């Protein structure tokens, strides 16, 4: 079998060595008469499936980066070990994807060069392990982090048009090795089957845009206003979370609301803290080692003021942005203490921003006294009550009576028979569709979605018309003056038609060109076969 034009023997030998681990020249391999068997074809199909499997997981890994800080916090609560697991995820995923992609490219070039696809047993073993690892990752995602499947659905609204172009391009390039195999193979049934499957897949891909919907496919003049920013525990990428430094950094990012969490100390002082324990965000293990595992509410205010609430930020580096902090910011971080709610309200009043908070822990036996203590501080602070956004559901009616000016924010969707119309809702971004966001906007209901860190997600929600988003990355979203992309429907239709037509013509060209090459090879192959037969006969004599 002669090599096609443009495939030199050294290149074919190199490809063969990498794929089959056979350290012989392509000419010697050809003399042995080795051909691609059905078993080899099965392993190639398995390789192709593993490549697609790892590609899909790579897509998921990129999507879930928006929420990965929550995973880091979860691991810390379970194991008391802080690590940016997103780096581990990305590195492992990149290694698995790169390995399967390189093997696939080698196999495709070997097919174009007319060499047998003899996959080495070591590659087979590693491919099986790769498939098992990715399957375990998907299983774990489905069991422990099921909401990320909804995140993936939302991501398709941001990436769908571009994924379509990429997949069509990839399948178009696949026409070259497919045509080469069809013109070389003598198995008519297999050739017809592969060609039929390929045609069905391409037709389906050409029609996929009929089912692609995205809120960012709209005219420029239809784009809603940019969503307001709510600082999640302040600006936690720039300063230790739930500190006054974090609040001021959030103000610098033009946030309109400081979102935080409130607990009440053993002596009745409301203070800012998210976790039930103090171990993650303070040095309680060094100051009170015997009490480190106790609930935050068991400490009195005097004890809490002894704790360092900022140095952990520099030591654990919860976000990569910590590396870029100035010397002044680093020094300021080491001086942070746990702020009281009174201090936070005063800072919010001076900065003219609103404050929104949860009161934790909700299942505490003294929760009503926590509500009373919190309301007392709010009413005594002098902050305009419309700047306070109340999230807790428990004792909400009491809060309405004692502080009627406080804005009530609900962590649920509206009901059909709502006694009192909702004005503000606060939900995970996975819980509301673009259609629901538009409907709430038409009904003058303020919708805040959390936690939104990635520009692609912010763009989708912006196009959908969300009122505000809670974010860790206020410094990133602040700089966005426009969604990442915005396409009029007529422009998208034109792109769709052009891509499909270009793909169809490229496929026809690939099959036509390789058919010409195949026809030129056949006379040379016939003469070579006759010559080899004569040489074998003479050697036998």
Domain ranges, ordered by start, for the chain: 8-145, 149-214+488-520, 228-271+336-479
pLDDT band at residue 7 using 50, 70 and 90 as cut-offs: low
Contacts (Cβ under 8 Å, ≥6 apart) of 52? none
Cα dihedral 324/327/328/334 (nearest 10): 90
* Residue 105, CA distances (Å) to 56, 101, 170, 519, 525 in order: 18, 6, 12, 26, 26
- Tell me the pLDDT tens digit for each residue of 239-252: 999 999 999 999 99
How high is the pLDDT of residue 205? Answer: 96
Mean per-residue pLDDT for 452-471?
98
CB 461 within 8 A of CB 428: no
Angle at 60 between CA 56 and CA 63, to 5 degrees: 140
How high is the pLDDT of residue 4? Answer: 46
pLDDT band at residue 23 using 50, 70 and 90 as cut-offs: low
Q: Which long-range contacts (CB under 8 A, 24 or more apart) does 64-68 make?
A: 64/141, 64/145, 64/148, 64/151, 65/90, 65/454, 66/151, 66/451, 66/452, 66/453, 66/454, 66/457, 67/148, 67/151, 67/451
Is the pLDDT assigned to residue 8 strictly greater than 80?
Answer: no
Is the pLDDT assigned to residue 532 strictly greater than 70?
Answer: no
Mean per-residue pLDDT for 20-46?
70
Mean per-residue pLDDT for 298-316?
97
Is the pLDDT assigned to residue 283 strictly greater than 60?
Answer: yes
Among 515, 249, 257, residue whose Cα is nearest residue 386: 257
Average model confidence (pLDDT) across the chain: 91
Is the pLDDT assigned to residue 180 strictly greater than 90?
Answer: no
Regarding beta strands 468-471 and 446-450, do their DSSP bridges make them parallel or antiparallel, or are they unpaired?
A: parallel
Is the pLDDT assigned to residue 3 strictly greater than 50?
Answer: no
Is the pLDDT assigned to residue 24 strictly greater than 90?
Answer: no
Mean per-residue pLDDT for 101-115?
87
How high is the pLDDT of residue 35? Answer: 73
How high is the pLDDT of residue 538? Answer: 55
How high is the pLDDT of residue 21? Answer: 77
- Tell me the pLDDT tens digit for each residue of 405-456: 999 999 999 988 887 889 999 999 999 999 999 999 999 999 999 999 999 9
* Higher-confidence position of 165 and 19: 165
Mean per-residue pLDDT for 24-50?
73
Listed range (33-37, 68-72, 278-282) with the worst mean pLDDT: 33-37
Mean per-residue pLDDT for 487-503?
95
3-state secondary structure 398-452: HHHHHCCCCEECECCCCCCCCCCCCCEEEEEHHHCCHHHHHHHHHCCCEEEEECC
pLDDT band at residue 1 using 50, 70 and 90 as cut-offs: very low
Is residue 78 classed exposed, middle or buried when 0-12, 13-18 and 19+ CB atoms within 10 A define those classes? exposed
How high is the pLDDT of residue 534? Answer: 53
**Is the domain 228-271+336-479 a CATH 3.20.20.190 member?**
yes
Q: Determine the straight-line distance between the first and last CA of the chain, rounded to whole angstroms.
A: 26
* Higher-confidence position of 32 and 258: 258
Is the pLDDT assigned to residue 28 strictly greater than 70?
Answer: no
Please give the model's pTM, rounded to 2 decimal places. Answer: 0.89
Is the pLDDT assigned to residue 13 strictly greater than 80?
Answer: no
How high is the pLDDT of residue 522? Answer: 57
Mean per-residue pLDDT for 364-393?
96
How high is the pLDDT of residue 5? Answer: 45
How high is the pLDDT of residue 22? Answer: 65
DSSP assignment letter at 355: E
Percentage above 90 pLDDT, the chain: 77
Cα dihedral 190/194/196/200 (nearest 10): 160
Is the pLDDT assigned to residue 26 strictly greater than 70?
Answer: no
* Residue 318, CA distances (Å) to 240, 252, 280, 315, 331 in order: 9, 20, 11, 9, 17
Phi, psi of 254 (to 5 degrees): 65, 30
Alpha helices in 145-187 (DSSP H): 147-173, 175-184
How high is the pLDDT of residue 320? Answer: 94
């Amino acid at each position: 079998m002669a090599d096609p034009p443009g495939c030199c023997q050294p290149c074919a030998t190199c490809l063969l060595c990498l794929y089959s681990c056979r350290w012989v020249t392509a000419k010697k391999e050809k003399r042995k008469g080795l051909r691609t068997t059905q078993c080899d074809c099965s392993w190639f199909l398995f390789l192709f499936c593993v490549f697609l499997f790892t590609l899909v997981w790579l897509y998921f890994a990129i999507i879930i980066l928006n929420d990965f800080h929550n995973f880091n916090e979860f691991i810390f609560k379970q194991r008391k070990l802080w690590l940016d697991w997103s780096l581990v995820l990305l590195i492992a995923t990149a290694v698995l994807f790169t390995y399967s992609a390189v093997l696939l490219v080698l196999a495709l070039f070997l097919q174009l060069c007319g060499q047998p696809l003899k996959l080495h047993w070591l590659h087979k073993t590693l491919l099986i392990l790769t498939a098992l690892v990715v399957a375990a990752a998907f299983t774990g995602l489905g069991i422990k982090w099921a909401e990320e499947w909804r995140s993936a659905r939302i991501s398709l609204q941001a990436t769908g048009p571009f994924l379509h172009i990429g997949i069509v391009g990839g399948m178009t390039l696949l026409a070259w090795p497919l045509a080469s195999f069809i013109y070389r193979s003598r198995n008519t049934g297999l050739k017809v089957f592969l060609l039929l499957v390929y045609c069905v897949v391409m037709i389906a891909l050409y029609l996929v845009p009929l089912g692609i919907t995205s809120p960012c496919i709209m005219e420029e003049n239809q784009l809603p206003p940019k969503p307001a920013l709510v600082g999640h525990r302040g600006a936690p990428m720039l300063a230790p979370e739930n500190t006054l430094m974090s609040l001021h950094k959030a103000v610098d990012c033009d946030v309109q609301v400081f979102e935080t969490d409130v607990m009440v100390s053993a002596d009745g002082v409301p203070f800012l803290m998210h976790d039930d324990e103090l171990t993650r965000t303070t040095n309680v293990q060094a100051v009170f080692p015997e009490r480190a595992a106790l609930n935050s509410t068991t400490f009195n205010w005097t004890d809490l003021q002894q704790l360092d609430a900022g140095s952990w930020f520099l030591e654990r580096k919860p976000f990569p942005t910590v590396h870029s902090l100035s010397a002044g910011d680093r020094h300021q971080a080491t001086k942070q203490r746990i702020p009281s709610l009174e201090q936070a309200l005063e800072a919010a009043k001076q900065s003219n921003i609103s404050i929104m908070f949860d009161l934790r822990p909700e299942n505490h036996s003294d929760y009503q006294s926590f509500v009373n203590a919190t309301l007392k501080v709010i009413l005594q602070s002098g902050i305009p009550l419309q700047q306070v956004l109340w999230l807790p559901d428990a004792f909400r009616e009491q809060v309405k009576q004692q502080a009627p000016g406080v804005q009530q924010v609900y962590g649920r969707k509206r009901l059909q028979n709502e006694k009192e119309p909702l004005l503000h809702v606060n939900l995970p971004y996975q819980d509301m569709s673009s259609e629901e966001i538009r409907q709430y906007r038409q009904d003058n209901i303020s919708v805040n979605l959390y936690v939104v860190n990635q520009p692609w997600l912010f763009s989708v929600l912006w196009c959908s018309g969300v009122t505000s988003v809670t974010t860790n990355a206020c410094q990133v979203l602040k700089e966005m003056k426009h969604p990442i992309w915005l396409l009029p429907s007529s422009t998208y239709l034109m792109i769709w038609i052009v891509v499909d037509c270009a793909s169809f013509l490229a496929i026809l060209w690939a099959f036509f060109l390789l058919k010409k090459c195949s026809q030129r090879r056949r006379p040379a192959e016939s003469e070579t076969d006759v010559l080899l037969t004569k040489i074998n006969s003479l050697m036998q004599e």
